[in-house]
Each structure stands twice: as structure tokens, then as C-alpha cells.
Structure 1
């Protein structure tokens, strides 16, 4: 469909325009429940964070309001996935840490996601699966670094 408002795009440009919707669909696929999705996100953010994580830092990394992060953290603590601890650098601050159960749940989520990936990509060659896995992992690491720069730049 070509017009003054929608000029012709190359197939490469169209593919690049589909990244956002594709990433959105990936996020919706697994884990099975929205509760698991939130918990998986919280556990991974805390595990991957360089240094200590507060509820405010978690909220910023997740892109949600602090009360939303606080409720999710409270549920994770109630379920034994997280614990609050005093900061080692500033005893007045409270930081979040994974418990052994939290680490086990994180591994369970990862195993479920790998299984889903293998089922979804069953028709792909092993080389395609591995290439996609490497590139998606790289994208995730680069997105995290980009996000942290954005937050640091807004301070």
C-alpha cells in the first residue's frame, strides 16, 4: 500500500518494523500465568542486577510504578522467593535478595521457557535455533545496558 502517508518500504524495513510486535508476542507466551510472568521478571531483574536492588530500583528496571513493584515484591516475599536485607553499603537502606527457593523458581521458569522455545522452533535447524538464541541473549544484554544508560541519563 503506497501513498503519500505510507511510502513503499523494503522488505528489510518491514521486517525491522515488526520487531516490537514480535518481542511483545514473545513476552506473552511463557510462563503460563501472569503471576508467573511478573515473578519471573522480578527474580531475573534481581539476579542480573549489578550490585544491590531496592524496590525503587526494581520498579525503574521493570518500567512500573513503585507501588506495583512493591506489591509484587510483597507477594514474592510471602511465597519465600525473596527476602529483604540491610544494604552492605548503607545499613539504612533495604535491599532485595533471592532465597534458595527463589533461585530454584528462576531455574524452573528458565526450563519451562527452554522447553517452549524448543517446541516453537522444532522445525528450525539446530544452527538456526542456536543463532537465534545467541542473538536474542545478546539483544537482552544490550537492552539492559541501554535501559540503565537511559535511567542514568534522566537523573
Structure 2
């Protein structure tokens, strides 16, 4: 590949652009406050099964979701994830219970409010994708979506 034909710089330009912009916009629209983007991140991490991009509900997962799981899925250390989980529990998005497999660990699950936030977040994500690709031909949108899905699946594997 010659320079300009590879996707690396374009990917990171997009990541830099969206990482600074989506958080406030999504948080304000979905939680009503700018500072609560971490609730969306935690709800997504808890709801995501072994394949993060597919975001299968935890009920379909075979293993309990723990703070360690959230830390791994969000790329955080355990203490940072623990604080975010604590805040999401206090906000009513998660329930923390003792793990059935290991009494020393806490398992996490979404509350009804957490499920509602997840549904709203997914709608927001789909709407954002549609807005960003509105001028594209439908087959290009589908192809790009499938490539994004593939990349997210590979990264989350």
C-alpha cells in the first residue's frame, strides 16, 4: 500500500475527532448531564457479551460481569473501573450482587434504567452513523458498517 491508501492515519484522525466530541453530546442527550458519559460507558461494558461490538445482553452471557470485566472492556485499571461502577450503581443503572461462582467477587447487571439507557445509547449510535454517512450510497453504508463491525469484533476477541 502506498501512503494515503492505508486506513491507519484516517482511522486515528476519526478517533481523535470523535473522542473529543461524542462524549459530551451523547451524555447530555442520553442522561441530561454532560458529566455522566461514564454511565453510558459502564452500561455498554456490562451489556456487552464476549463480542463487544455485537453488544449481546448479559443475560445471554455465560460468565458473570465483574468490575474486572468492565475494566478490561473499557481499557481502565481496576480502581478506575470500580469508581465508575460505584457511580453507575448509585445512579440506578446497575445492581451489584455477590457472584454465584465466587462469593468474593461482585457480579453486575443492568437495572431497568440501565436497560433503557442502553437502548437510548444504541439508537443514538445508529442515528450518528446514519448522519455521518447520509450522503453515501446505501451499499457503501452497509459495506462500511460491516467492516466496522468486523474490526470491532476482531479487536474485542
Shared fold, TM over 0.5: yes
Which string of whole-angstrom CA distances, capped at 9 and with x for unpartnered residues, describes residues 58-105 of structure 1? 112211122221221111111111010121212232111111211110
- Secondary structure at the residue paired with 1:53? coil
Whole-angstrom CA distance in 2 between matches of 1:39 and 1:142: 25
Match status 1:10 vs 2:8: no
Between Structure 1 and Structure 2, whose CA radius of gyration is higher?
1
Q: Describe how 1:7-86 pairs up with structure 2 within 5 A.
A: 9-13=2-6, 15-31=7-23, 32=25, 33=27, 35-50=35-50, 51-86=63-98
Unaligned runs of at least 5 residues, structure 1: 1-8, 146-155
Q: Secondary structure at the match of 2:108?
A: strand
Matched length: 136
When normalised by structure 2's length, the TM-score is: 0.75
Match of 1:143 in 2: 155
Query: What secondary structure is seen at the aligned counterpart in 1 of 2:64?
Result: coil
> 1:68-147 to 2 correspondence within 5 Å?
68-145=80-157
Give deviations 1:94-117, integer Å, cap 9, x for gaps.
111111211110110111111121
What is the root-mean-square deviation in Å for CA atoms of aligned residues?
A: 2.0
Aligned equivalents of 1:136, 1:28: Cα separation in 2: 20
| Structure 1 contact 80–99 (Cα < 8 Å) conserved | yes
How many Å separate the matches in 1 of 2:145 and 2:19? 15
